[in-house]
Amino acid sequence: MNIFRLAGDMTHLFSVLVLLLKIYATKSCSGISLKTQELYALVFLTRYLDLFTDFISVYNSVMKVVFISSSVAIVWCMRYHPLTRRTYDKDLDTFRHYILVGVSIILALLFHDRFTFREVFWAFSIYLEAVAILPQLVLLQRSGNVDNLTGQYVFFLGAYRAFYILNWIYRYFTENHYSRWISWLAGFVQTALYADFFYYYFVSWKNNAKLQLPA
Amino acid sequence: EENEKPHDEL
């Protein structure tokens, strides 16, 4: 565990906490894309298949459980919770996310480390995670105004993979650890998708103004 | 053949 990896995990954890806080405190999930949340639930459920077969550390297992349970809880709040499900901007959240699932399945079947059940699902989760933010970004762009907590949620979620890239670079030089090229490529795509958002986030932060995305 | 390496990252 190095400082970059820890920073990545913490920003990831923080993004989830900010999102749960937003839904709990404001009793609203407006501005949040259910499509993106469903994709994340699918990402964690398929990536952490090793939760019961490989023990790495208590930290590792706890984080896996946190990411699986929080993503499922958020989907539940948006779909079924009597108070919050009505605040979901259904009409703005029209991204055809099943296309992302389909493309990720095809990519995982073609490009993987080994043709085993677990490795194909792992590759699928990496590809899907790289693009899972797209419905959320489209929803924000459509609604224009972004509330503070939602803006912070997306910011921390984007920062997490950027820290992971630094962690892979660090591990490459210090441990001679060779992260799989699948993670490198998907990690870069994932971080690049946030470039626009990061730009407007920093501009609004510098000007101490409300975050607004151009139409 | 080497065994499947566990994924140590999240």
Chain A residue with the nearest C-alpha to that of B3:
A114
Average pLDDT, whole number, for chain B?
73
Per-residue pLDDT of A21-43, as tens digits, reads 999 999 999 999 999 999 999 99
Q: What's the angle, vertex CA A58, arms to CA A54 and CA A61, rounded to 5?
A: 55
Q: What pLDDT does A102 receive?
A: 98
Measured between CB atoms, which of A54, A63, A67 is closest to B6? A54
The answer to whether A64 contacts B8, with C-beta atoms less than 8 Å apart, is no
Q: How confident is the model at residue A105 (pLDDT cuts 50, 70, 90)?
A: very high
Q: How confident is the model at residue A179 (pLDDT cuts 50, 70, 90)?
A: low
Rounded Cα distance, A134 and A164, in Å: 20
The answer to whether B10 contacts A116, with C-beta atoms less than 8 Å apart, is no
ipTM above 0.90, yes or no: no
Torsion over CA of A133, A134, A135 and A138, rounded to 10 degrees?
Answer: 120
Q: How confident is the model at residue B1 (pLDDT cuts 50, 70, 90)?
A: very low
- Tokens, residue A96: 């055809």
